Each structure stands twice: as structure tokens, then as C-alpha cells.
Amino acid sequence: MPKIFEYLGIIIRFYSNEHDPIHVHAIYQDAEVKISFFFKEGRLYRTTYKVEKGKFPPAKMKALKKFVSIYNLKIVHRWNEYFIFKVSPKFEKITKKLSNEDRYN
């Protein structure tokens, strides 16, 4: 169960037996949200959030969505590294609140 990010106490990980579509799991305390990424013609066109367990606090969900909007391509890159190229993904802990100026390219 590689852990790829931690953002303000929210753990972003995927499980070793994952499947398409590309997705990760965000865990905060006893709650878990599945975030799926959908591509069309090589471009990310939709991201979905599904609560899998517990109740994700609204403030943490807002922070999670901000994080995913900024780091979506980096998340997908780490998923591809692990499942396609069989490389252990790097873990990154982010302790400051993100803004749009932090956008990952």
C-alpha cells in the first residue's frame, strides 16, 4: 500500500492490487475517499470523489479537492511509475496550505 502524499494530515495512497481507472485513496482519521482520474485523448477531463468509508470532514474535503486540483498530474505520474514501470513511488509530505500559485506542471 504505497503512501505517495500526505497533505495537512490527509494520506494519499493506492493499494498494490489496483485496477483501472487510475485512482487513489485519501484517508483522514477513519474516513476514506476514492479519487478517480478519467482521460480522453491523453488529457485529464474528469476527476471524481466517492466516499468509501466514514464521513470526511467538509473542511478536509475542500483541502483534498484543492490538493488534487493542483497535484493531479503528479498523482497520476506516481500511479504510472508504480503500476507500469514497477518503480517504488516517492513519498512527499506537504505541511503548508496550497494556493493556485503552487500549481504543479
pLDDT at position 105 is: 47
At a CB cut-off of 8 Å and minimum separation 6, what does 97 contact?
8, 63
C-alpha cell read off for 23: 485512482
Do the beta carbons of residue 17 and residue 9 sit within 8 Å? no
- Alpha carbon distance 72, 19 (integer Å): 18
Q: Which residue has the cell 513519498?
A: 91
Q: What's the one-letter identity of residue 50? A: K
Can you read off the three cell numbers belonging to residue 84?
A: 507500469
Yes or no: say if 28 and 60 are a contact pair by the CB < 8 Å rule. yes
What mean pLDDT is reported for the chain? Answer: 91
Question: pTM (2 decimals)?
Answer: 0.90
Give pLDDT tens digits for 17-68. 777 889 999 999 999 999 999 999 989 999 999 999 999 999 999 999 999 9
67 or 2, which is more confident?
Answer: 67
Side chain identity at 46, as an amino acid letter? R
Cell (9 digits) for 96: 503548508
